[in-house]
Amino acid sequence: MNSLQGLLYGLSIAATPGNLLAAFAGAFAGTAIGVLPGLGPVAGVALILPLTFSLDPTAGLIMMAGIFYGSMYGGSTTAILLNIPGESASVVTAIDGYQLAKKGRAGATLTIVAVGSFVGGTLAVIGVMMFSSLLAKVAILFGPAEFFALTAGGLIVMSRISGGTLASALLPMTLGLMLGTIGQEAVTGETRFTFGLPELAEGVSLVPVVVGLYGFAELMLLVEDRIHAANRPESVAMRDLLPTRTEWKRAVPSWLRGTFLGFLFGLVPGPAATLASFASYRLEKATSKHGSEIGSGAIEGVAGPEAANNSAATASLVPLLALGIPFTPIAALMISAMLVQGIQPGPLLITQHPEIFWGLIASAYIGNVMLLALNIPMVGVWVSLLRIPHYLFIPLLLVVSVIGTYSVRNSIFDVWVLLAAGVVGYAFNKMKFQLAPLVVGLILGPNIEKHFREALFLSQGDPWIYVESPIALTVWLLVALILIAGFIARRRAAFAGAMAQESSL
């Protein structure tokens, strides 16, 4: 079956009323899960997993995939409106998104995000459909040394992701890395820095840290600064809901770059969607024509990452469908659903169960159209939420975040983490430290360590393993290149600045 025949066959499956309903239910639930801070897609998929056992396997998987990419649409809403990321893949969206909202462009930004998510999701499905078996071979080429290069190199490159001085980024990043060492060490299961608390054995979870750092800290700033609180759009006219011509124009290249980058991240293990959004933000800063505006409310800083996280969510179907190996917790849940229903995941899935493979692909096309249709009209509703006085709306949202955070692991401990992260976030804001590097450190730290140790186990202690493979070496050279280029660019700017000053004297 070639791609076109496959797609037509898939459409004949995905377009049955039951599967259409499953796609819609997944997309809708995903959007809601994304919008609600604290509740992330993993918890959402885990919640509906038992439900899928009574469904036809294809319908169940369509619904689960719908939740995953649906949550990528919804996650940015509160990030843009209130600086509270709905889930971890929307952290970077908050940086420029919130600035844009303050300028009265909330509606336009939400529209750019919805369309960008659609572009990222749809292009990624095309990629999955055309190249999945080829891409699966690429995934096999990556071992511990290559992953170590990607994650450790990524940490270095992303250290100054949100601008500011070097120190204002490195201190939070170090704190993030240190937090990442708490709990069970991945390879041996040894527990560290837990002070005998069983809750800490699983480590510090990302969701309460993110919601606390951004959300709770934001509330404290609002409470402290009434003028700041009054600084919100009084009314949003219809034309403000739509992006301007320039905004559309500026978003398109960012969408495409984000989609491409996100797709690559979806193929490797780890929190693909979150990492993809961070990497895309960094890429926009480096390559976009308006790179210097990013951080103070540039549409590129929102368009790129949001296309990237959707693309990554969709691309993570490749290792799942073509290899039968889960790279993300959501893919693991989907494999569980297949096994319970008696379907053997693996390279033969596409021939043994074409209805699942092509049904999922076709439903992803349909699901993305549904999500676009669902999210564009919602823009007006979301923006009108801004009219609710902040003193009512934010406390309510924070109550929702506490419930969401608690519900992920039924852990009151996570709620304390949420509150503590809020205090840290507030203090860091006051002291002009950057928050995003802390999140990057917390996400990447455990991954870096894990791949570092796995590589040494594999080479039986020989450190050359880190640079022996061509892929790892290439990654390290790229990292060095980016660092040197950045250094030269800064020196030049400083030199030019000094010259200008001199000549004005």
Partner 1 sequence: MRFRLNFHLMAWAGFALMAGVAGLSQPAPAADEWPTREITFYVPYAPGGSTDPISRKYSELLEKQLKVKVIVENKPGASATIGTGAVIRAKPDGYTIGLGSSSSLAYQPLEMKGLAWKSADDYQSIAKLSDLPVILAVPAESRWKNLDEFLADAKANPRKLKVSVSGLRSVNDIAIQQLNKLSGLRIVTVPFTGGGGEATLAALGGRVDGTAGFAPGMKGQIDAGKLRVLAVFQDGKYDLLPDAKPIGETPWKDTFPVGYYVIAPNGLPKPILDKLLAVSKTIVESDEFKSFLKANGYTSDPKIGDDMKKELAGYDQKFREVVKFLDDDK
- Residues of this chain that interact with partner 1 (CB under 8 A) are 46, 49-50, 53, 139-144, 183-184, 186-189, 191, 196, 198, 201-203, 269, 323-327, 329, 331-333, 335-336, 339-340, 342, 344-349, 381, 384-385, 387-388, 392, 396, 399, 403, 409-410, 450, 454, 457-458, 460
Considering the complex, what minimum distance in angstroms separates the CB of residue 207 from partner 1? 16
Cβ-based nearer residue to partner 1, 75 or 183: 183
Instruction: Give the residue with the Cβ less far from partner 1, 193 or 457.
Output: 457
φ/ψ (deg, to 5) at 344: -90, 110
Q: Tell me how far CA of residue 25 lies from CA of 22, 30, 70, 259, 372, in angstroms.
A: 5, 8, 10, 25, 14
Pull the structure tokens for residue 298.
Answer: 């540039």
Q: Which of 126, 124, 110 is nearest to 310 (CA)?
A: 124
Q: Which is nearer to partner 1, 221 or 467 (CB)?
A: 467
| 3-state SS assignment for residue 184 | strand
Cβ 290 to partner 1, closest distance in Å?
Answer: 34
Least separation, in Å, of the C-beta of 349 and partner 1? 7
Number of H helices, E strands in the chain: 25, 2
Q: C-alpha distances in angstroms, 129 versus 125, 318, 343, 357, 470?
A: 6, 9, 21, 9, 28
Would you say 341 or 429 has its CB closer to partner 1?
341
Of 299 and 397, nearer to partner 1 (C-beta) is 397
Q: Contact, 59 vs 25, CB < 8 A?
A: no
Q: How far is the CB of 460 from partner 1 (least distance, A)?
A: 7
Q: How far is the CB of 204 from partner 1 (least distance, A)?
A: 12
Q: Is the CB of 16 or the CB of 191 nearer to partner 1?
A: 191
Residue with Cβ nearer partner 1 (67 or 303): 67
CB of 218 to partner 1, least distance (A): 19
DSSP state of 183: E
Instruction: Look at residues 335, 370, 328, 372 and name the one whose alpha carbon lies nearest to residue 356.
Output: 335
The distance of closest approach from Cβ of residue 143 to partner 1 in the complex, given in angstroms and rounded to an integer, is 5
Task: Tell me how far apart the terminal alpha carbons of the chain are, to the nearest angstrom.
Answer: 74
Closest CA to 395 of 229, 207, 232, 227: 229
Given a contact cutoff of 8 angstroms between Cβ atoms, the answer to whether 79 and 382 are in contact is: no
* DSSP, res 192: E
